[in-house]
Amino acid sequence: MEERDGFIVSIGCRKCGKCENVCLNGALYRINGFVNVDHQKCDLCMKCVKICPNKALVYME
């Protein structure tokens, strides 16, 4: 398994849906409308971080 330097977390999701279907690996999922990240599937491409208008998806080292 590949070593990772960080991970993406969801902080303050406003349920806007902009990140819907942006992840090609299916790492994003919703619980009660709030986005969450499956770290096992995430390859840190940052597409979700870039598209989030509320800056709720954040890269953490």
Q: Residue 1 falls within a domain, yes or no?
A: no
Full residue range of the structural domain in which residue 49 is found: 7-60
Overall domain count for the chain = 1
**Helix locations, 1-61, DSSP H:** 47-51
Q: Residue 30 falls within a domain, yes or no?
A: yes
Instruction: Give SS3 for 61.
Output: coil
Band of residue 8 on the pLDDT scale cut at 50, 70, 90: very high
Q: Residue 49 falls within a domain, yes or no?
A: yes
16-53 pLDDT, tens digit per residue, is 999 999 999 999 999 999 999 999 999 999 999 999 99
In this model, does residue 2 exceed pLDDT 70? no
Find the mean pLDDT for residues 2-10: 83
CATH number at residue 39: 3.30.70.20
Q: What pLDDT, on the 0 to 100 scale, is given for residue 5?
A: 84
Q: Residue 2 falls within a domain, yes or no?
A: no
Q: What pLDDT, on the 0 to 100 scale, is given for residue 1?
A: 45
Question: 43 with 7: CB under 8 angstroms?
Answer: no
